[in-house]
C-alpha cells in the first residue's frame, strides 16, 4: 500500500493523505536555520543547535506526535480548517503535501476556498517563510479570517521541557505592528531573539498561550479561534506564543497571498537595545524587508532550486529504472546533505537534545557528501581531527557549537580512529587536494598541540597497531562500529549507560571488524604515504612499508583466527570466547565482518570471501533486507553488553541494520556478482519499498536506520529514518560500485557492476573541474573509450582544465 507517489519531474514526494503511518517529514534549511516539517505541518525550528537555540516548541511523546511549529487556522463562514490539515484536522476536500528539495507545499481546499501553503528556509536568511495563498473558487464574496500560531520554545530545549519553576517566570515578548517578538532572557545573557511576522495589517493577535487557547482547549480547538476573536494578550511569563489574525475579503475568483516569516536575529552586545527594555529591531526589519512581496518569495524559491540543482547535478543517472533514478538523482543525495547538516541531532527519532556529532558517524557521513560540498567537507575533516587525542584515540562525540570533544562520553571506541583515514582519503580522491595532509589540527582541541593532518592519520593507524589482542586482532575497547558489543562492560545496573560503563581493562576482547577496517584503511594510509611524501612530517616510505606489512599480517591473522569455516567470526570476548561462530548457541553469524573483510580483500583469492557472502545470503538475507545477526540473542548476557538488551529482531539484536547492507553489496560487486549486489542494494532502498509503505511505515524517500528483522514480531517495519550512516554508504555503494564511477588517486575509474536487466545507462559526473558524460552499454568489445579514444584499462586520468569529457563504456 502507498500513501503518495514520486513526482520525478518536480523532484517531490507527494503525500496524498494526512494519515501516514508515522510523521513523514522533510528538512528545511541548509546553513544555520533549520526546520523539521511533517506531512501535516508539524515539527519545530532551531538556529544551528537543536538543543541550545530551539525556536519553537516540540512536545516529546505527545499525540499526535507531529504537532507544533507552523499552525494555521482558516475561518471561512461556519467552516474552520487548517491548510496543512493539522492542527484543526477538519476533513478537507483536497489534500496534498509535496515534500521537495528544501521546501514543502501543502495544497488543500474546502467549501470552494483553496489553499496553497509553501514552507521553506531561504538561502542566506535565518528564517522560515510560509507563503499562504488563498483563492476563492466560488461565485460569492468570502469573508475570511486567517489565524496563525507558533509556540515559542524558551531556547534551551531541555530546560524548556523540565525546569518549569524557572521557565514559567521568564517569558517575555514585544509587539510591534504585525511582528510578534520573542525576547525571553534577552535582558540577561542572550543576544538573540526570534520573531514571527506577516506582511499584512492585523485585526488581532495573541502572545499568551492560555489566553489564545482557553483553559480547557488544545491546539486543535483554540477558544479564540472558535469564537473568532483574538484576545490581544501580552505574555508575562508562562508560555509565550505568537499568533496573528488577518481578515480577508475575497471576491469570486480572487486570490490573496500572505507571507509569514519566522525569524531569528543576533546582535552585538552594545547594539542590543533601542531603549530601556525595547529590543533593537533593525536586524528583524532588515530580514523581513526581503520577504514582503510574492515576487521576492518566488525569487527566493528559485534561488533555492538552483542551490539544489548545483549540488545534485554533480552526479546523476538515466537508467531505465525510475526507482534507481530517483534514489540516485534526488533522494539519496538529498539525505546525505541532511546528515551533513544535522548529523544525528534532530529528527522524529533523535530528540535534538542528545548526541552531539558522532566521530565515526561524521567521518562516514562525509563519504556521501564530499562530492557535493568538498570545501565544507575539508573543514569537517579538520574539525574531526581536532578531537583526536595524542595517543591516536578519539573522543566518540563532539559538540557542534564548541567543536570540543564530549568528555561525558569519552573515547575508547576502538574503530573511531580508523574512520578518520577513511574520510580523509575519500576527500583526497574526490578533490585531489592532498595539501590538506599538511593542514594543522590540534589534539584534544588544545591550542599549541597542532600537527599536520597526515600525522593525525598516522596516529590513527598506529593506535590500532599498538592495541592488538591475544590473536593479533585489534582490541575492541568499549565497542567498535557495533555500539552494542560491550565486552568490557559487564553491566548489571539498569541505571548505568552501556556507552560509558566499563568494568574491565579490556586487554583480551578483539574485533574482527576492526581488523578488516585496519587492512582496508591501513592500506589507504600507506598509499597516501607513497603518493604524497612531501606533506609528511615523518619518513613516509618507512610508514608505507610499515602499514603495508601490518595489513598483510593482519590479513593472515584474520584468516588464521577470524575465520569460522563458513563465515568470518565477529569477535573474541573478554574471556577469549568466540562471538559470531557456529559454535555459539545464539549470534552465530554477524553481518559486519562479512561485508568489511571482503571489502578489505580478505579471502578473495582463497575462497573465504565467496563462502562468507553465501552464508550471509542463506542465513541473514530476507525480503526486507539483510539482518545484522542470527539467531538473535534471547537472553541478556552481561558479557556481551547492550546487544542483548534489545528484544529479538530489533536494533543491533538482529534487525536489518541498514547501514551495513551496502558493505555486503559492495563486497558482492568486488566478487563480480551484480545480481546479488543489486539485490542487497534494492531491498533497503526506500523507493523500492514504496509499494509496501504500510509495512515499512517510515518515509519511502528516506533511508532508515533499522528494519525489524526476521525474528521480530513486526518484521519489515522501519524505524529511525533520516539521520543514519546508511545514506552515505548507500550512495557510495550505488554511485561507486553498482554504477561504478569511482574517484581514485590516479583518475576516475569506471567499473559498472549492474544486473543484466540494465542494458544501457547514462551517467553524468562532475569530478574536480570536469563534467564526464558516461554511456554504459553491453557489447562484445569490452572497454572504455574517452573522447573517441580507446584507453588502456578503465581509469581516466585527471586532466587539468578539461571542461567536458565523453566516455563510452562497453560491459
Ligand atoms: C548508530 C550509531 C553508530 C553505530 C551504529 C551501530 O547508528 O550512530 O555510530 O555504528 O548505531 O551500533
Ligand atoms: C545505542 C543504540 C545504538 C547507538 C548508540 C549510541 O547503543 O543501540 O544504535 O549507536 O546507542 O547512542
| 674-705 confidence digits (pLDDT tens) | 999 999 999 999 999 999 999 999 999 999 99
Could you tell me if the CB of 344 is within 6 A of ligand 1?
A: yes
Could you tell me if the CB of 590 is within 6 A of ligand 1?
A: no
Q: Cell numbers 582496508 correspond to what residue?
A: 520
What is the layout of strands, in order, in the sheet containing 173-176? Answer: 4-7, 12-15, 94-99, 103-110, 113-120, 127-136, 255-266, 192-198, 179-182, 173-176
Average pLDDT over residues 730-739: 98
Tell me the percentage of the chain whose pLDDT exceeds 70: 100
Cα–Cα distance between 262 and 56 in angstroms, integer? 10
Of residues 589, 718, 565, the one with CA closest to residue 654: 589
Q: Provide the pLDDT for residue 596.
A: 98
CB 664 within 8 A of CB 595: yes
Q: Provide the pLDDT for residue 29.
A: 98
Q: How far is the CA of 462 from the centre of ligand 2 (A)?
A: 27
Could you tell me if the CB of 651 is within 6 A of ligand 2?
A: yes
Ligand 2 atom, smallest distance to 705 CA = 9
Is the per-residue pLDDT at 355 higher than 80? no
Ligand 1 atom, smallest distance to 724 CA = 7
Is the per-residue pLDDT at 786 higher than 90? yes
Q: Angle at the Cα of 625 (from 677 to 13), degrees rounded to 5?
A: 95
Residue 327 is classified by DSSP as I
Is the per-residue pLDDT at 502 higher than 80? no
Q: In 518-639, which ranges are E strands?
A: 571-572, 578-579, 589-590, 621-622, 625-626, 629-630
Average pLDDT over residues 199-216: 98
Cα–Cα distance between 9 and 6 in angstroms, integer? 9
Calculated CA dihedral for residues 79, 83, 88, 89, nearest 10 degrees: 100
Q: Cell numbers 556478482 correspond to what residue?
A: 673
Question: Which amino acid residue places its CA nearest to atom 3 of ligand 2?
Answer: 483
Sign of CA dihedral 616, 618, 624, 629: negative
Q: Which of 66, 145, 412, 483 is catalytic?
A: 483
Q: How far is the CA of 142 from the centre of ligand 2 (A)?
A: 54
Q: Which helix (H) or strand (E) holds 773?
A: strand 770-777
Q: How many CB atoms lie within 10 A of CB 569?
A: 29
Sign of CA dihedral 344, 347, 351, 353: positive
pLDDT digits (tens, 9 = 90+) for 124-156: 999 999 999 999 999 999 999 999 999 999 999
Question: Which amino acid residue places its CA nearest to atom 6 of ligand 2?
Answer: 483
pLDDT digits (tens, 9 = 90+) for 28-47: 999 999 999 999 999 999 99
Q: How far is the CA of 273 from the centre of ligand 1 (A)?
A: 46
Residue 155 in grid coordinates? 531556547
Q: Provide the pLDDT for residue 406.
A: 86
Map residue 305 onto helix, strand or coil. Answer: helix
Residue 222 in grid coordinates? 483554540
Answer yes or no: 322 catalytic: no
Q: Contacts by 539-546 with C-beta closer than 8 Å and gap 24+?
A: 543/458
Query: For residue 542, what are the contacts with CB-CB under 8 A and spacing of at least 6?
Result: none
Indicate the pLDDT class of residue 67, thresholds 50, 70 and 90.
Answer: confident
Count, residues in the chain: 811
Q: How far is the CA of 448 from the centre of ligand 2 (A)?
A: 34
Of residues 421, 368, 426, 365, the one with CA closest to residue 394: 421
pLDDT digits (tens, 9 = 90+) for 404-458: 888 888 889 999 999 999 999 999 999 999 999 999 999 999 999 999 999 999 9
Is the per-residue pLDDT at 505 higher than 80? no
Indicate the pLDDT class of residue 289, thresholds 50, 70 and 90.
Answer: very high
Q: Provide the pLDDT for residue 184.
A: 98
CB-count burial class (<10 Å; 0-12, 13-18, 19+) for 780 = exposed
pLDDT digits (tens, 9 = 90+) for 241-281: 999 999 999 999 999 999 999 999 999 999 999 999 999 99
Tell me the percentage of the chain whose pLDDT exceeds 90: 95
Full-model pTM:
0.97
Q: Angle at the Cα of 296 (from 293 to 299), degrees rounded to 5?
A: 150
Q: Provide the pLDDT for residue 356.
A: 75
Of residues 311, 438, 441, the one with CA closest to residue 368: 311
Is the per-residue pLDDT at 504 higher than 90? no
Question: Which amino acid residue places its CA nearest to atom 11 of ligand 2?
Answer: 483
Q: Provide the pLDDT for residue 260.
A: 99
Average pLDDT over residues 221-237: 98
Cα–Cα distance between 436 and 279 in angstroms, integer? 44
Residue 685 in grid coordinates? 532502498
Q: Provide the pLDDT for residue 401.
A: 77
Q: What mean pLDDT value characterizes the chain?
A: 97
Q: Provide the pLDDT for residue 357.
A: 86
Amino acid at each position: 500500500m502507498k500513501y503518495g507517489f514520486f513526482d520525478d519531474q518536480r523532484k517531490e514526494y507527494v503525500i496524498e493523505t494526512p494519515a501516514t503511518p508515522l510523521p513523514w517529514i522533510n528538512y528545511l534549511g541548509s546553513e544555520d536555520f533549520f526546520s523539521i516539517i511533517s506531512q501535516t505541518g508539524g515539527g519545530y525550528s532551531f538556529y544551528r543547535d537543536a538543543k541550545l537555540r530551539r525556536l519553537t516548541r516540540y512536545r516529546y511523546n505527545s499525540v499526535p506526535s507531529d504537532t507544533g511549529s507552523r499552525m494555521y487556522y482558516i475561518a471561512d463562514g461556519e467552516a474552520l480548517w487548517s491548510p496543512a490539515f493539522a492542527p484543526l484536522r477538519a476533513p478537507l476536500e483536497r489534500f496534498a503535501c509535496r515534500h521537495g528539495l528544501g521546501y514543502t507545499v501543502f495544497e488543500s481546499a474546502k467549501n470552494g476556498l483553496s489553499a496553497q501553503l509553501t514552507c521553506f528556509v531561504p538561502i542566506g536568511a535565518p528564517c522560515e517563510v510560509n507563503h499562504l495563498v488563498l483563492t476563492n473558487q466560488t461565485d460569492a464574496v468570502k469573508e475570511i479570517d486567517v489565524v496563525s500560531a507558533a509556540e515559542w520554545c524558551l531556547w534551551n530545549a531541555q530546560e524548556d521541557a523540565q525546569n518549569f519553576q524557572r521557565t514559567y517566570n521568564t517569558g517575555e515578548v514585544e509587539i510591534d505592528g504585525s511582528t510578534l517578538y520573542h525576547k525571553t532572557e534577552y535582558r540577561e545573557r542572550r543576544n538573540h531573539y526570534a520573531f514571527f511576522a506577516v506582511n499584512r495589517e492585523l485585526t488581532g493577535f495573541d502572545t499568551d498561550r492560555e489566553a489564545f487557547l482557553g483553559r480547557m482547549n488544545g491546539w486543535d480547538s483554540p477558544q479564540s479561534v472558535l469564537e473568532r476573536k483574538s484576545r490581544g494578550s501580552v505574555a508575562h511569563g508562562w508560555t509565550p506564543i505568537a499568533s496573528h489574525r488577518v481578515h480577508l475579503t475575497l471576491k469570486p475568483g480572487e486570490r490573496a497571498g500572505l507571507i509569514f516569516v519566522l525569524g531569528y536575529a543576533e546582535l552585538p552586545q552594545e547594539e542590543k537595545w533601542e531603549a530601556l527594555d525595547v529590543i533593537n529591531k533593525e536586524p528583524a526589519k532588515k530580514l523581513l524587508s526581503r520577504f514582503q512581496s510574492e515576487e521576492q518569495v518566488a525569487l527566493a524559491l528559485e534561488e533555492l532550486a538552483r542551490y539544489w540543482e548545483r549540488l545534485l547535478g554533480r552526479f546523476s543517472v538515466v537508467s531505465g529504472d525510475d526507482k534507481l533514478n530517483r534514489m540516485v538523482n534526488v533522494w539519496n543525495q538529498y539525505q546525505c546533505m541532511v546528515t551533513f547538516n544535522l548529523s544525528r541531532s534532530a529528527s522524529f527519532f533523535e530528540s535534538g537534545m542528545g548526541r552531539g556529532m558522532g566521530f565515526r558517524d561524521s567521518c562516514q557521513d562525509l563519504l556521501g557528501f564530499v562530492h557535493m560540498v568538498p570545501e565544507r567537507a575539508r573543514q569537517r575533516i579538520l574539525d574531526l581531527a581536532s578531537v583526536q587525542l595524542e595517543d591516536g584515540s578519539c573522543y566518540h562525540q563532539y559538540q557542534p557549537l564548541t567543536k570540543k570533544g564530549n568528555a561525558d562520553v569519552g573515547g575508547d571506541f576502538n574503530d573511531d580512529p580508523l574512520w578518520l583515514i577513511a574520510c580523509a582519503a575519500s576527500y583526497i580522491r574526490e578533490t585531489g587536494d592532498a595539501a590538506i595532509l599538511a593542514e594543522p589540527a590540534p589534539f584534544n582541541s588544545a591550542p599549541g598541540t597542532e600537527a599536520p593532518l597526515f600525522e593525525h592519520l598516522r596516529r590513527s593507524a598506529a593506535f590500532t597497531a599498538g592495541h592488538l589482542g591475544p590473536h593479533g586482532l585489534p582490541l575492541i575497547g568499549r565497542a567498535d562500529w557495533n555500539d552494542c558489543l560491550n565486552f568490557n562492560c559487564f553491566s548489571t545496573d539498569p541505571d548505568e549507560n552501556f556507552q560509558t560503563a566499563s568494568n574491565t581493562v579490556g586487554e583480551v576482547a578483539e574485533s574482527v571488524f576492526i581488523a578488516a577496517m585496519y587492512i582496508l584503511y591501513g592500506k589507504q594510509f600507506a598509499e597516501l604515504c607513497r603518493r604524497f611524501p612531501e606533506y609528511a612530517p615523518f619518513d613516509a616510505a618507512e610508514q608505507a612499508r610499515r602499514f603495508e606489512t601490518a595489513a598483510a599480517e593482519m590479513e593472515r591473522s584474520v584468516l588464521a583466527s577470524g575465520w569460522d569455516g563458513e563465515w568470518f567470526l565477529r569477535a573474541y570476548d573478554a574471556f577469549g570466547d568466540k562471538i559470531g561462530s557456529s559454535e555459539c548457541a545464539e549470534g552465530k553469524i554477524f553481518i559486519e565482518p562479512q561485508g568489511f573483510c571482503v571489502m578489505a580483500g580478505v579471502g578473495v583469492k582463497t575462497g573465504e570471501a565467496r563462502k562468507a557472502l553465501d552464508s550471509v545470503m542463506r542465513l541473514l538475507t530476507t525480503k526486507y533486507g539483510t539482518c545484522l545477526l542470527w539467531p538473535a540473542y534471547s537472553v541478556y548476557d552481561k558479557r556481551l553488553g547492550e546487544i542483548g538488551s534489545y528484544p529479538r529482531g530489533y536494533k543491533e539484536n538482529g534487525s536489518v541494520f541498514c547501514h551495513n547492507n551496502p558493505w555486503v553489496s559492495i563486497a558482492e560487486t568486488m566478487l563480480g556478482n551484480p545480481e546479488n549486489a543489486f539485490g542487497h542494494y534494492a531491498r533497503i532502498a526506500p523507493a523500492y519499498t514504496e509499494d509496501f509503505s504500510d509495512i515499512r511505515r517510515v518515509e519511502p524517500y528516506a533511508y532508515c536506520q533499522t528494519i525489524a528483522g526476521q525474528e521480530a514480531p513486526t518484521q519489515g517495519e522501519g524505524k529511525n529514518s533520516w539521520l543514519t550512516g546508511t545514506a552515505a554508504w548507500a550512495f557510495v555503494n550505488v554511485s561507486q560500485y553498482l554504477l561504478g564511477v569511482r574517484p581514485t588517486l590516479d583518475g576516475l575509474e569506471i567499473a559498472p557492476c549492474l544486473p543484466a536487466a540494465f542494458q544501457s545507462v547514462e551517467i553524468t559526473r562532475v569530478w574536480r573541474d570536469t563534467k564526464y558524460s558516461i554511456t554504459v552499454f553491453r557489447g562484445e568489445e569490452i572497454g572504455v573509450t574517452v573522447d573517441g579514444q580507446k584507453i588502456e584499462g578503465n581509469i581516466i586520468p585527471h586532466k587539468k582544465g578539461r571542461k567536458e569529457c565523453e566516455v563510452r563504456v562497453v560491459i
